[in-house]
Amino acid sequence: MALVAVGLAVAVGGVVHASTYDDLVRFDVDGVVTEVRTESETVSELLAEKNVSLDPADQVSPAPATDLDDGDVVKVRRAKAVTLVVDGKISQRTVHDVDVASALETLGVQPKEGAAFSMAPDERLGLEGNSVVVSNPKPVVLKVDGKKQRLVTAAPTVQSLLQQRGVKVGELDEVKPGLGSYLKPRQSLRVVRIEKVTRNEKIEVDHTVKFTDDSSLFEGDTEVLKEGRDGLDRAKVELILADGEVRERRVISRSTVRPPIAEVQKRGTKNPDTVDGGVWDRIAKCESGGNWSINTGNGYYGGLQFSAATWHSVGGPGLPHQHSKATQIKYAKILQARSGWGQWSCAAKVGVS
């Protein structure tokens, strides 16, 4: 009987000893909760027992060195990288929340009614990175096919908005900003229709001018010996049209319809400074102080103070002051032969009538 009693005492003592180190705790790893009966004395021993390794950014509650007691709750929250996009604004964040809704609350994001989400609010966050897009209803301007539309949309990207509006984008079309761009409030979007077309065109070919020197003409004076003529080519042209307007033009091939004919001109080499103006010098001295390149600003030009209309009436090119003394005298002689010396008030003053 004594031996039996001793045996029972040992047995009872053994049961009491086991229960002292066999605690029941709740183990919560990112919201997955299990009840664990463990002989681990601390949180860190429990983590080792369950093969749970921690990164430095992970969170554990209570702290790993904390002693375990029966009924304790041990929480592990893994660090989760989140690329957060709110109405086009992108940021890189780290959270320890289990689901999207909790993460948005932690990050201070309050979606508006009608907002669109890339991940459902109750969706669990992954450990390998998450892209959370929140797109609230926002005003934007869309220009396409010659029409400007003011819209309010929760579409997160340009592409999703175009799909919502039934806008088809061709292979060559341009979308500004790009299809993958996130929409921002009050943003302007444009679809440019790009078209490549081929046409047959006639192209004028400029004629050249060949000069021969002539010492009987003054420098700057020319005389046409043979009239030139522009040529004509037939060309196959590729055009790039942007919303119907020509953006680029490329000649694919061309053939001659009519070749150009070069113009031949005599070009003066005689120095006008050697010209003895005689009476014209005297008139110019009176009219303009002898300044053959003067532009007084009063509608009269050059040494002999031609008006533009009179100068052009005798065939003068450009304006008188732009030409040499010899050229001005040349056209003055034409005017004098046609209308007399009365065209210059100074003529009588210098003894010419």
Q: Which residue has the tokens 């201070």?
A: 108
pLDDT in tens, 157-187: 999 999 999 999 999 999 999 999 999 999 9
User: What is the pLDDT, as a whole number, of residue 348?
Assistant: 87
Domains of the chain and CATH, by start? 22-77 (3.10.20.90), 80-135 (3.10.20.30), 138-192 (3.10.20.30), 196-267 (2.20.230.10), 276-349 (1.10.530.10)
User: What is the pLDDT, as a whole number, of residue 273?
Assistant: 57
349/233: higher pLDDT = 233
pLDDT in tens, 3-31: 333 333 333 444 444 444 578 999 999 99
pTM, entire model = 0.60
**C-alpha distances in Å from residue 129, one per residue of 57, 83, 102, 182, 264:** 14, 8, 16, 19, 79
Does residue 44 carry a pLDDT above 50? yes
Does residue 92 carry a pLDDT above 70? yes
Helix (H, G, I), strand (E, B) or coil at 183: coil
Question: In terms of residues, how long is the chain?
Answer: 353
Count Cβ atoms below 10 Å from residue 322 Cβ, excluding itself: 15
User: Residue 122: what residue type?
Assistant: D
Does residue 222 carry a pLDDT above 60? yes
User: What is the pLDDT, as a whole number, of residue 109?
Assistant: 96
- The average pLDDT across 52-63 equals 94
Rounded to a whole number of angstroms, the distance between the first and last alpha carbons of the chain is 171
Sign of CA dihedral 295, 218, 267, 338: positive
CB-based contact 217:272 (threshold 8 Å): no
261 burial via Cβ count (<10 Å: 0-12, 13-18, 19+) = middle
Rounded CA-CA distance 162/88 in Å is 16
Sequence-distant (6+) residues with CB within 8 A of 112 are: 136, 137
* C-alpha closest to that of 279 among 194, 177, 348: 348
Element (DSSP H or E) covering residue 73:
strand 73-77
* C-alpha closest to that of 43 among 21, 20, 55, 27: 27
Cross-strand bridge partners of residue 148: 143
Helix (H, G, I), strand (E, B) or coil at 340: coil
What beta strand segments (E) does 177-319 contain? Answer: 187-192, 194-205, 209-218, 222-226, 231-242, 245-258, 263-270, 300-301, 306-307
Sign of CA dihedral 177, 180, 186, 188: positive
CB-based contact 67:42 (threshold 8 Å): yes
Q: What does the DSSP 8-state code read for residue 274?
A: G
Q: 152 — phi, psi (to 5°)?
A: -120, 120
Q: Is the peptide bond before 62 cis (omega within 30 degrees of 0)?
A: yes
Cross-strand bridge partners of residue 144: 147, 191
Rounded CA-CA distance 192/27 in Å is 58
Per-residue DSSP letters for 186-208? TEEEEEE-EEEEEEEEEEEEPPP
